[in-house]
Amino acid sequence: MTYACDACGATYADDTLIWRCARCGGTIDLPVVPFGADDVDTGEAGVWRYARALPDVPGRDRIALGEVMTPLAPMPVGGAGLRLKVDFLFPSGSYKDRGSTVMLSRLRMLGATDVFDDSSGNAGASIAAYAAAGGLSCSILTPASASPAKLAQIEAYRAQLVKIDGDRAAVAQAAIERAEQATYASHVYQPLFIAGCATAGFEIWEQLGRRAPDSVTVAVGYGSQLLGLRRAFKGLLISGAIGRLPRLYAAQSASYPALQDAWARGADDVEPIVLGTSVAEGISCRMPARGRALLASLRESGGGAVTVTDAEIGVALRDLASAGYFVEPTAAASYAAYGKLAGSGVLRDGDVHVVVLSGSGLKAGAAVAGLIREAR
């Protein structure tokens, strides 16, 4: 595989430790890999079943924590065709482990010993977990104001916390500067991370009897999950394993609607927007770095974007918990968005719809319980 720059088209061998275009600073991507039924490694239980669609990492070089396929489970009150992809059932409690096992395995194989990322949330925890499992030295850059509860899990994995004064943008700038000395294991910029996230799409396809669903709704902050799904379903489409793409829907916070706004305007790229705060920290993102690709994901699949308020997220948390699913607010945003799409007739009852539940409610148990109480 070869990396290609999204902006200027420059290409780079995939055995170099690179995270963005050296010529213009643009985001880089790996080509979509055709993938069909014969490509599944049935000897593997989870992420690595789809190794043929992933950057090459021999079995002995993989940093794995026994990942298995996450459930594709029913939601009794959401319509007969609704399935929940229970992607919070990963070792660190979020779907980010899909990206981390693939990215850190490959980076270590290429010689990385010292990695870092900028995230005080699920990505930071996940990368710290897999770095610990793989014997890599790991630092996580966070705003100095990040809440101790969010940092506890990262510290538990013995990652070094580097607190940066200023807002999220200041942290991102510090990360770019640090990339001179250590390997930037970025959940936003690294195509390896998105390649790992694609495995959710392959699992959904297998779990539906090797068929694509009619739609998938997923919460979008920086969008690695949406881009991963796009990558998987395009690979399946190219190989002929499916006949059409599922419609992909992005759930965004009403306070951080950069993608939804650009989609609604018919724009080619996103612009930063912040209209307030949100309980859904995982999608509190003023502007995703891969805006063009995210917009293309929505348009080429015939999907779209929906915003949800904190109050709607609270109701979704309540309804999911009432059915046995205890998730974090960001995960509930996807279910709230699905409810709006189904309620307005955009998604037909009787079709097969998937909602991805990205993170566990146990990460912020007291806060989630409080939001559910308020919604009752």
Helix (H, G, I), strand (E, B) or coil at 166: coil
Contacts of 44 (CB under 8 A, 6+ apart): 51
Q: Are strands 28-29 and 2-5 parallel, antiparallel or unpaired?
A: antiparallel
Residue 5, classed as helix, strand or coil, is: strand
The stretch near Zn ion (CB under 5 A) out of 19-27, 113-121, 304-312, 323-331 is: 19-27
Pick the stretch among 8-16, 210-218, 303-311, 342-350 that binds Zn ion (CB under 5 A): 8-16
User: Quick check: 8 binds Zn ion (CB under 5 A)?
Assistant: yes
Residue closer to Zn ion by CB (options 50, 184) is 184
Check residue 22 for interaction with Zn ion (CB under 5 A): no
In the list 19, 20, 21, 125, the residue contacting Zn ion (rule: CB under 5 A) is 21
DSSP state of 69: P
Q: How many residues bind Zn ion (CB under 5 A)?
A: 8
Per the CB < 8 A criterion, the answer to whether 205 and 242 are in contact is yes
| Residue 17: CB minimum distance to Zn ion, A | 17
CB of 297 to Zn ion, least distance (A): 21
Phi, psi dihedrals of residue 117, rounded to the nearest 5°? -145, 165
Cβ 360 to Zn ion, closest distance in Å? Answer: 37
DSSP H helical ranges for the chain? 96-109, 122-133, 148-156, 168-178, 191-197, 199-207, 224-239, 258-265, 291-301, 310-322, 329-343, 365-375
Of these, 26, 71, 74, 91, which contacts Zn ion (CB under 5 A)?
26
Stretch that binds Zn ion, among 23-31, 91-99, 250-258, 305-313 (CB under 5 A): 23-31
Judge contact between 196 and 169, C-beta under 8 A: no
**Complex with Zn ion: residue 23 or 299, whichever CB lies closer:** 23
Applying CB under 5 A, which of residues 23, 244, 265, 373 lies at the interface with Zn ion? 23
Residue 4 binding Zn ion, by CB under 5 A: no
Strand partners, 269: none
Residue 7 binds to Zn ion (criterion: CB under 5 A): yes
Distance CA 287, CA 222 (A): 7
**Which of residues 2, 17, 24, 302 is near Zn ion by CB under 5 A?**
24
CA 192 to chain centre: 12
Listed ranges 24-32, 95-103, 268-276, 280-288: which one lies at the site for Zn ion (CB under 5 A): 24-32
Rounded CA separation 341/335 (Å):
10
Establish if 289 lies at the interface with Zn ion (CB under 5 A). no
Closer residue to Zn ion (CB): 24 or 149? 24
Least gap, CB of 7 to Zn ion (angstroms)? 5
Radius of gyration of the chain (CA): 19
Nearer to Zn ion, 11 or 160 (CB): 11
Where do we find the tokens 């995703």? Answer: 288
Can you give the binding site for Zn ion, defined by CB under 5 A?
5, 7-8, 10, 21, 23-24, 26
